[in-house]
Amino acid sequence: MGFLKILLIFIFCSFLRPSIQSDLETYIVHVESPENQISTQSSLTDLESYYLSFLPKTTTAISSSGDEEAASMIYSYHNVMKGFAARLTAAQVKEMEKKHGFVSAQKQRIFSLHTTHTPSFLGLQQNMGLWKDSNFGVGVIIGVLDTGILPDHPSFSDVGMPPPPAKWKGVCESNFTTKCNNKLIGARSYQLGNGSPIDDNGHGTHTAGTAAGAFVKGANIFGNANGTAVGVAPLAHIAVYKVCSSDGGCSDSDILAAMDAAIDDGVDILSISLGGSTKPFHDDGIALGTYSATERGIFVSASAGNSGPSLGTVANEAPWILTVGASTHDRKLKVTVKLGNSEEFEGESAYHPKTSNSTFFPLYDAGKNESDQFSAPFCSPGSLNDPAIKGKIVLCLRSISLLRVAQGQSVKDAGGVGMILINEQEEGVTKSAEAHVLPALDVSNADGKKILAYMNSSSNPVASITFHGTVIGDKNAPIVASFSSRGPSVASPGILKPDIIGPGVNVLAAWPTSVDNNKNTKSTFNIVSGTSMSCPHLSGVAALLKSAHPDWSPAAIKSAMMTTADTVNLANSPILDERLISADLFAMGAGHVNPSRASDPGLVYDTPFEDYIPYLCGLNYTNREVGKVLQRKVNCSEVKRIPEGQLNYPSFSIRLGSTPQTYTRTVTNVGDAKSSYKVEIVSPKGVVVKVEPSALNFSTLNQKLTYQVIFTKTTNISTTSDVEGFLKWNSNRHSVRSPIAVRSNLETYLVHVESPESLISTQSSLTDLDSYYLSFLPKTTTAISSSGNEEAATMIYSYHNVMTGFAARLTAEQVKEMEKIHGFVSAQKQRTLSLDTTHTSSFLGLQQNMGVWKDSNYGKGVIIGVIDTGILPDHPSFSDVGMPPPPAKWKGVCESNFTNKCNNKLIGARSYQLGHGSPIDDDGHGTHTASTAAGAFVNGANVFGNANGTAAGVAPFAHIAVYKVCNSDGCADTDVLAAMDAAIDDGVDILSISLGGGGSSDFYSNPIALGAYSATERGILVSCSAGNNGPSTGSVGNEAPWILTVGASTQDRKLKATVKLGNGEEFEGESAYRPKISNSTFFALFDAGKNASDEFETPYCRSGSLTDPVIRGKIVICLAGGGVPRVDKGQAVKDAGGVGMIIINQQRSGVTKSADAHVLPALDISDADGTKILAYMNSTSNPVATITFQGTIIGDKNAPIVAAFSSRGPSGASIGILKPDIIGPGVNILAAWPTSVDDNKNTKSTFNIISGTSMSCPHLSGVAALLKSTHPDWSPAAIKSAMMTTADTLNLANSPILDERLLPADIYAIGAGHVNPSRANDPGLVYDTPFEDYVPYLCGLNYTNRQVGNLLQRKVNCSEVKSILEAQLNYPSFSIYDLGSTPQTYTRTVTNVGDAKSSYKVEVASPEGVAIEVEPSELNFSELNQKLTYQVTFSKTANSSNTEVIEGFLKWTSNRHSVRSPIALLLIQ
């Protein structure tokens, strides 16, 4: 599977197609329960007949034939949900939607797998404790949903096993009957299982063996971890449900079918080591199925996911699921690498040689001097072609897209004798002990850099790898694994997730094949890591508890594990995370499982199942959505809803405001009949926690007692960060602990309401509209306020252009009250958007008194609204010399405290909540973007003398209106909408928005998309930055088709700096610093990361981390990243006494370098060059260097190059629209700045050089202003089309535009290409998207009527609209993602804006494997503004490409014009 395809599984689950060969796709269809069948499970035949009534008449039976062309039902569900899975076309689904009883149809999603000393580490010992009390889990049935099983493995022997209990109704499929026994009692296979439960991956065998494998003596890998392997519940039965393919993909339709069967079969525990991204529970297949399973008394354990350490990544977070994170145990498979200079570094590996060998071998750096810096350094298969590798130990960088063992195989195939794998920085101390195919080990990123430095310091670098085998007794264990996904829960923030952690790092368990090539045994094992491994540990513990306490409910079992979990490690210190700092609640939940204590918890929190109804209604789900989970009709208006924190859960996660909050909990006595418990409280900082009563006295077993917890905020509570504590009930034998996470209660909500009919057609009665909005708020809230009072519920903004609704600070309870009011639509919590952070005019071909500058009169009369961090009005870039007054249509203002700052250039200035009352820019970003778009001519602009010349914006005579919505912490979406609302009224022509939400979201819930829609409808062009999350695929933001989405590229100017080492080597970088006098003095070098005790602070030169006094007088080496801005790194070096700095960029940055205005001599260099400098430093006792600044160099023929940070397509919100649209200059851009970065206090002419798509966006805003001035009648769509169809696809060397790897940039990096203003001014033809087409387009995205109405600010009935496919929108590019065997035809309409009489002929460059036919092939125009339509038919050919993305274009050419439309086809194999 290609890398892009892997990404698409995660990013575009909702767009997946099962095969390009067919228009049929698998859908999961929800239907209402037929009333006569709602209370019975008996009439399955009638239920299936009911399901079949929804399908086309030709589909009359459940089929598993896999016939791609036949529409067929695949699964009929009767336990986990009311509905079925079927293969259908989109047209058949649309027909189905018309039928009574239809609820929804969702395309099948593909989930991913979340991938023995551990029983001993968990305190399980034979004939003692929990193993004895539970009889090793006898009689309990664990259902494992995974990749299948190897039944012949001795871990699944049934020696000593009793037959399954009488309740068991499961089967072993016909081709598997002889493989089952009293241990493996059931085996089923589903669609992706390819007809057999046999495990051809290994994951399922491993998880089943971990949960309930039998005792197997002599288990080991290469002799490591040698001993008796055993599952956590060795006498429990196993039932296997194979739902995943060999490549690790698992479809939700198969998973639901497996859970449906498991419920009927009679399992007690479901172990689910797989999952996808977070979704609302009613749309989450695993949440739906497990709800039904838990309702039947089945305990469900699921992996939390492997997306850590990022916050908010936890999956499988429904409260009825035990969500399991991963941690280490106290066993290491220790390996050391010893260098020729005697330095030693510790790593881990499961490889163990048959004989001890301490021979030194030469070292080889796979990334050194390689032309392909994106394959060879990572030892990708086929990338190691250097014959010099033979007989050497090879250093490889870790890559998340490659298996570690595969990297070792590449080394072995190339003749290497060993491998050192350097982990990524974020992995911290988490290391993987893989069963490698040659001597190999994992080392930390910091140690890896030291090894690379040694290699480059010696002409004959050598090393020896020594394997020490199994070492037990790591006192730091357990440590939370770096990959373990973190909370808080997105789907339900009021439930603390993950629930618990367990062993998931380097776990030994059964494997289908011998990883050490031992063909004489079936006793094959492997060591792997993941939350996939921790999940079955907890499943096994649950089986033990179920066996010991058969009357305990799933909630009681979960409570027992959570309230007795360990929060300290073996050294009796707080559990740590991968950074070796205390792990927080969102990393470890309640703590690390302690099975022995869980068997005797004293008290349990037994969540009544009926409480889930008021809980789900309290999540603001609709009746239908709650009904999907419950499989019956629900009326939430008849239910007393409860907040999430009121659920009888063993932990607390609450938001707290000025009003105290009270929650009740009920505990059940499962300990001593007569017992007394007293409460112990550790209150979170700034919170008082009071418990009533403070003592609980029980007199009988199973007695229930209720207590109240009152949370009260004190004056010193943090309003920005989470605080933690716990409450604990202690008796003379038991301790029952509940963790507490507290956050601030008041939040800003964006509230959508329906338009009042009397106000919908007029803008005049704003007072009446404000009164209407206020009617939704609590009676105490009666005015718009900007006081920022944290305690008062207040309305912040009243919107009347961008949407029908308002922004207000409210509690969750106030929002719930609001929902009952007629006309309420939705309330969304405010999102914080981020800023997407002069020779460029010349580089763009703009010259005074010539071309488009002359034709447009430099943008005169056009108003650009800049939504950003404000502006410095006194800067000469905003002088109004020669500027006319603003046009008569201008209705904007300069706020009262800013009136005397405005002029004919800066004609408007407003500030919003995060602006703190003044439009003055205290960040710099807004001043920079405003001057880039429309700054006046300023002579002598420079930074430290660099880039010296006349600075000018792209549209220097355009007017500027500033809307300050951001501060240094970010930009609130409510402020952004308020600014856009005002800008529409004010009369701007262009909106320039250099900020975004860091990713994709549906347009109806995306504030920038909402506001931009209304602005575009009023004729305002909206230009937005694409985002700075590149080069990751699918990272583009601001991708609505009515927005111009702008990526970033370089220009042909470099601010060159070089570092020369004491050995004569030189390396080129960039920097805006320039000394007043040339200085070639050599200074001593200092590596900030060498021997640093804190490898997460010091190597990145964080402020305060450089405490070594030897830094004084030296040039310091710092790593890029670590959350520290480059200039701040330099300040830290300067503060520590350093005289210079070399910043080593990250690998992914490639050739993209930043020329920052540093506070001391400094430069950026590539990762490869940085490694060589570190090597030199370690090769000499007196490393020295000099930094030389060459200044401005113009003429880079490779320009433009796509910047590494520039976000890439395809679009997640609308994959059928190609994004980004275009690229423009965004690297090392010189523009106005509020302060002097070179400490020149004698001038207001201050400039700075910065990079980002924030810088490319205003370039395009300026170009749009020029075009608007020249062509005032052009619509926003026409202006966008003109820029896109005339964009350059070649660089200055007349070769294809390159990306940061110096490879040809793909269509998802450059869109249509690089802007060419002169050609855009005379495009010949334009694609003018009719605004009314957005309605059928939005309906075609399967948005609901209400969701489309949110955008349009009026009621819409999509059933009365003829929906269109995304690619049918009259857009200047094509993005086709579902081409099957049936050809697809789309129309486009072009408008003649060139010569009145003109003829255009089509030129087509078809992507490989696709035939493109255009009819007609010639367009003949007879007049200006004439519109002509053509058709494009895409057909697959027999020689279809196997690649994931293929590209082409179509071009209309006349004797004067060339109108190019790029074509992207995304093929999902």
Active site residues: 146, 203, 532, 868, 925, 1254
Radius of gyration of the chain (CA): 33
Residue type, 352: H
Look up residue 552 and give its two tokens: 């305990």
Phi-psi category of 1274—alpha, beta or left, where left has phi over 0 and alpha has psi -120 to 50? beta
Closest CA to 752 of 1043, 977, 495: 977
C-alpha 802/C-alpha 817 separation (Å) is 25
* Phi, psi (rounded to 5 degrees) for 257: -65, -40
Tokens linked to 1264? 């749009």
Task: Give φ, ψ of 1117 to 5 degrees.
Answer: -90, 125
Is-contact 963 867, C-beta < 8 A? Answer: yes
Residue 949's alpha-carbon distances to 1127, 1190, 1192, in angstroms, are 24, 16, 11
Cβ distance 1138 to 1155 under 8 Å?
Answer: no
CB 187 within 8 A of CB 197: yes
Report the DSSP pairing between strands 1115-1119 and 1083-1087: parallel
Strand duo 102-107 + 25-31: pairing: antiparallel
Identify whether the C-beta of residue 378 lies closer than 8 Å to the C-beta of residue 397: yes
CB 231: neighbour CB atoms within 10 A?
33
The 3 state secondary structure assigned to 644-704 is HHHCCCCCEEEEECCCCEEEEEEEEECCCCCEEEEEEEECCCCEEEEEECCEEEECCCCCE
3-state helix, strand, coil in the chain (%, to 5): 25, 30, 45
Structure-token match 């940039």, residue found: 1305
Angle at Cα 267 formed by Cα 262 and Cα 270, nearest 5°? 75
**Short-list 61, 54, 68, CA closest to 104:** 54
* Half-sphere exposure (Cβ direction) of 1132: Cα atoms closer than 13 Å: 25
Specify the DSSP element, H or E, that contains 209.
helix 203-212
First-residue to last-residue Cα distance in the chain: 9
Residue with tokens 């065997």: 1381
Q: Taking a C-beta distance cutoff of 8 angstroms, is the pair 941, 1245 a contact?
A: yes
Distance CA 451, CA 465 (A): 13
DSSP state of 1452: E
DSSP string, 772-797: HHHTTS-TT--SB-----TTS-EEEE
At 1044, which amino acid appears? L
- In sequence order, what are the beta bridge partners of 479? 576
Name the token pair of 891.
């209705």
Nearest to 546 by CA among 138, 114, 78, 1014: 138
Q: Are 1324 and 1393 in contact (CB under 8 A)?
A: yes
Tell me how far apart the alpha carbons of residues 836 and 1254 are, in angstroms, rounded to a whole number: 5
Q: In the structure encoding, which two tokens stand for residue 483, read together?
A: 């990959």
CA distance 108 to 74: 12
CB 1024 within 8 A of CB 1207: no
| Residue among 883, 906, 869, 890 at smallest CA distance from 989 | 890
Chain position carrying tokens 């009689």: 139
